[in-house]
Structures are given as C-alpha cells and as structure tokens.
C-alpha cells in the first residue's frame, strides 16, 4: 500500500506523453531539448504531434525525455542506483522529495556538456579498444573467415 502512495508522488504518474512534451517545449523550446537530449524529433520539423508519435515507438528516447523531465525540469534529486535501473515512470520517489524549480538551461551549457560527453566516450572507446582486438568474422554460409575492414567498399576498390 505504501508503494502505491510513493508511486503517486512521482511527477510522471498520470501524466500523458503529450502533456509532458508540451510542458517542456513551452518552457525550454525544441532547440534546448535537442541540444541536451540529442533526439532528432526535436530538430527536424519539430512538432508536438510528431514528437509524441516518435517517442511512443522509441523506448530509449522516451525514457531519456522522462528522465530529463524528472531531474532537470522538476529538479528532483538524483535517483538511487537501485531506482536508476528502473524506467523513469516506474521509479518510486520518496515522500520527502518534492519537485523544485526547473533548471535554467542554455545552448552554451549544452555545447559544453556535449564536449564533455564526447571526451568521455573517446576515453571509453580507447580503453575498450585495447581489451578486445577485432576478431575476424565468420561467414554463416561457408564457415570461411571474412576480414572486415573499416571501409566497406575496400574489396571493390582496386
């Protein structure tokens, strides 16, 4: 019974996707949403209807937007590691955590965040490249090894 009360404390409880997007677009606009979330439906001919249609089909993008709504727009404290594993709509928000004021975001801050993420991704890629060298792919039909180059057109170039 207490879990149901905690669940109702989640700002996403009973909130439709269309209402969520409308609130975010009214406050931040499509440019800020694209800059922070890097979801193409906010960049290419953005509209509420097309965004809802895309996000209903795409779980990862919807969860990313819902997490943005909880932690940037509603300014809730970061979820515990256990709760973070759950989709945003399934997270239980403790009774003492109440939504705050939306974060003030800018395109300049988004660019700095994007650069920081790119550096982190590059470090991760370089670290994983040393651990697992590329193995030759085996063709399912013939069982022969097929060497894959970075350039898919390499075998036709002569």
Residues 153, 66: Cα–Cα separation, whole Å: 40
Q: What's the pLDDT score for residue 41? A: 93
Pair 33, 25: CB distance under 8 Å = yes
C-beta separation of 10 from 74 below 8 A = no
pLDDT number for residue 3: 47
88 found inside a domain: yes
**Residue 6 CB contacts under 8 Å (≥ 6 apart), including other chains:** 92, 93, 94, 95
Residue 138 lies inside a defined structural domain of this protein: no
The predicted structure's pLDDT at residue 19: 95
* C-alpha pair distances (Å), 20 with each of 49, 125, 145: 12, 34, 50
CATH number for the domain spanning 24: value is 1.10.720.30
Residue 40, in any domain of the structure? yes
How do residues 87-108 score in pLDDT, each as one tens digit? 998 888 888 888 889 999 999 9
Q: Indicate the number of domains in the chain.
A: 1
Q: Is residue 141 part of a domain?
A: no
Task: Let me know if residue 136 belongs to a domain.
Answer: no
Rounded to two decimals, what is the model's pTM? 0.72
In the chain, which stretches have pLDDT less than 70?
A: 1-8, 130-158
The whole-number pLDDT of residue 101 equals 92
Mean pLDDT of the chain: 82
């Amino acid at each position: 019974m207490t879990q149901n009360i905690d669940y109702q404390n989640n700002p996403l409880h009973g909130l439709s996707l269309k209402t969520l997007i409308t609130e975010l677009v009214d406050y931040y606009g499509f440019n800020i949403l694209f800059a922070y979330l890097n979801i193409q439906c906010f960049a290419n001919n953005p509209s509420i209807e097309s965004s809802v249609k895309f996000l209903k089909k795409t779980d990862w993008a919807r969860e990313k937007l819902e997490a943005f709504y909880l932690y940037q727009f509603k300014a809730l404290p970061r979820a515990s590691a256990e709760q973070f594993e759950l989709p945003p709509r399934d997270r239980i928000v403790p009774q003492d955590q109440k939504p705050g004021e939306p974060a003030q975001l800018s395109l300049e801050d988004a660019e700095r965040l994007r650069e920081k993420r790119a550096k982190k991704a590059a470090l991760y890629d370089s670290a994983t490249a040393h651990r697992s060298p590329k193995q030759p792919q085996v063709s399912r039909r013939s069982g022969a090894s097929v060497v894959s180059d970075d350039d898919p057109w390499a075998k036709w170039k002569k």
